[in-house]
Structures are given as C-alpha cells and as structure tokens.
C-alpha cells in the first residue's frame, strides 16, 4: 500500500518513523512543511525537513525530538561570545547541514534536489519532499504585531497571543517536483499528528487539491498538545482545543480520523461529520509506540 504523508517536524517525524517500520521504503513518501524555514546567521534553516530526515536516518535526538543526537554546541556558543544571536540553538553537526544546503541554494539548486541528495548521503531510502521549492514563510499575527514564525515560536516562546496566520509567498509557490505525483499515486494520504495551523495548513494551501482518501491523526489528546502551541493557538483563536476541533479543521478532506482513547466520547460527533474513526493510543513516547500506532493506522486505512 502506497502512503503519502503530510508532516511538520516533531509529531510528523514520529509518525513517519512508525510508518517506515511497516511499509516498503518505495511505498512511503513524505511531503514536509517548509513554512517554518528561515534565514538565520546567513544560513537557510529548514527545521521540519531536518527533523523528518534526522529521524528517518536514525540521527535525531530522541529526547528533544529535534536536532541531532550526540550534538556539541561550540559554534553557537562562540557566536554568542561575539555578540551574535544564540536564541536559535544550532548544534555543530546540524550547522553542517545548513552550511551545505545554503551553499547549494545559492548556487541555484532546488530544495527538493538538495533534500534528495542529503537523504541519499544519510542512507534514507524513503522519499522526502519539501512542499515547495519556492520559499514560503509563515507569519504569525499576534497581539504584539506580526512575527516571523521562528521569532514567535523560539525567540518569543509562543507567548504573544495569536490572532491569525499568513503564509508569505504561498500564492506563487508551486508544489515541489514529485509532490503531485506522490499525491496521485498514493493509495491514501495520511495527515500526521502535526500542528494543523502552522505545519499542515501551509502544505494543504500549496497542494490545493487531493483526489485520494485522506486520514488524519489528531495532534490534540485530551484537549492538550503533546508538545508545542497547537492547543494554545486553538484557544487564542476562540476555538476549544480538542480532537473534534482538529477533525472539523480538516473535515472537507477526511475519510477517516484517528483519535486517542481518552477522547473516545468525541468519536460520535466526528462520525456525524461523515468521517469514520479509529480510537487507539496515539501518544508516541517510545519507538515501539510509533510502530504500534502506525500499524493501527495502516490497518484502519485498509479497512476504509
């Protein structure tokens, strides 16, 4: 069964890692959000792409969910000593990725080609695609004014209240090479348990239409995010955060929806939206959790 997954960083990478344990590498394509990308210290940084790649390559830091395992921090601490910005923690090994990516982008290579080459170098057999080769930059409209995504997310620790989002460059951003084919050839599209507002919405806006069955996994468990600001964003936008709110967010696309056991009572209102549900444990704490959830999700997709 061919699956094309739509993914952000941390939640997306965990889900995709689980899927990789069950399906052949040629049957798994991941379309990754690039709205979180930014230019910092002269480097182009693609946090979600790197999190997905490091995870599939077995290079990720398991505790933080982002960055590399066995990382050192010499460069960033010396940048700080010189008065430079240290708020975005870039590890030494990670910086190598950004240096080489930035060099290639400046030489005119598309991000999708660079990502393909990096995946080959890291021994990743699955296909990882940025949503677009054109730069898209998520802007967060907050009570403290409009902030670039990483300024809001990392520097301001998601503190300013969110009012809306804008995806700079999205109107002219075409899907990257390979994205449309992956969407057409898939037996199903899986929306990973990623942030609907800032990880999945940018991808959906770039790809515009999907003609295959879509299944999503809720990133909200018991009304809360596992990590990050998704639930806080829902609340600040005036929507009660819940697995139901996420299902409503994706409603027009969904054939199936996976929600956590603690949210079992929400299955009925989701079914009433015309969406089939799978209730299972969706918290991925261990590697075994990732694989077990993926197995359940694949079984559910086959049953639709």
Whether 171 and 135 have beta carbons less than 8 Å apart is answered as: no
In angstroms and rounded to an integer, the radius of gyration of the C-alpha atoms of the chain is 18
Residues 6+ apart with CB under 8 A from 247: 216, 218, 254, 257, 259, 266, 270, 273, 275
Tell me: does residue 140 bind ligand GDP (CB under 6 A). no
Q: How far is the CB of 250 from ligand GDP (least distance, A)?
A: 14
For residues 200-239, which are near ligand GDP according to CB under 6 A? Answer: 217-219, 221, 225-228, 230
Whether 138 and 169 have beta carbons less than 8 Å apart is answered as: no
Please tell me the total number of residues recorded for the chain in this structure.
304
Query: Closest Cα partner for 7 from 27, 32, 28?
Result: 32
Tell me: does residue 55 bind ligand GDP (CB under 6 A). no
Q: Residue from 127, 132, 199, 280 that binds ligand GDP (CB under 6 A)?
A: 199
Nearer to ligand GDP, 13 or 124 (CB): 13
Tell me, residue by residue from 1 to 40, as one string, x for binding to ligand GDP by CB under 6 A and - for no binding: ------xxxxxx-x---------------------x----
Q: Which residue has the tokens 């660079």?
A: 114
Tell me: does residue 241 bind ligand GDP (CB under 6 A). no
Tell me: does residue 138 bind ligand GDP (CB under 6 A). no
Which residues lie near ligand GDP (CB under 6 A)? Answer: 7-12, 14, 36, 48, 51, 193-195, 199, 217-219, 221, 225-228, 230, 282-284
């Amino acid at each position: 069964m061919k699956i094309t997954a739509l993914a952000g960083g941390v939640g997306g990478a965990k889900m995709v890692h689980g899927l990789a344990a069950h399906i052949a590498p040629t049957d798994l394509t991941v379309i990754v959000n690039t709205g979180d990308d930014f230019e910092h210290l002269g480097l182009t940084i693609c946090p979600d792409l790197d999190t997905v790649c490091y995870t599939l390559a077995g290079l990720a830091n398991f505790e933080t969910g982002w960055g590399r395992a066995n990382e050192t921090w010499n460069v960033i601490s010396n940048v700080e000593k010189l008065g430079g910005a240290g708020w975005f923690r870039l590890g030494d090994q990670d910086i190598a990725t950004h240096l080489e990516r930035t060099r290639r982008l400046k030489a005119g290579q598309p991000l999708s080609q660079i990502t393909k080459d990096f995946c080959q170098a890291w021994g990743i057999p699955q296909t990882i695609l940025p949503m677009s080769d054109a730069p898209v930059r998520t802007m967060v409209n907050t009570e403290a004014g409009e902030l670039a995504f990483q300024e809001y997310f990392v520097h301001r620790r998601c503190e300013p209240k969110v009012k809306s989002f804008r995806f700079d460059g999205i109107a002219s951003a075409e899907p990257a090479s390979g994205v449309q084919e992956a969407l057409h050839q898939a037996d199903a599209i899986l929306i990973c348990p990623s942030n609907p507002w800032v990880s999945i919405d940018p991808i959906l806006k770039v790809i515009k239409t999907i003609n295959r069955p879509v299944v999503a996994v809720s990133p909200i468990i018991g009304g809360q995010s596992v990590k990050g600001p998704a639930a806080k964003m829902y609340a600040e936008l005036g929507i009660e955060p819940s697995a139901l709110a996420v299902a409503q967010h994706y409603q027009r696309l969904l054939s199936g929806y996976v929600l956590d056991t603690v949210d079992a009572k929400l299955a009925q209102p989701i079914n009433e939206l015309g969406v089939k549900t799978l209730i299972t444990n969706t918290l991925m704490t261990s590697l075994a959790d990732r694989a077990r959830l993926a197995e359940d999700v694949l079984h559910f997709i086959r049953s639709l």
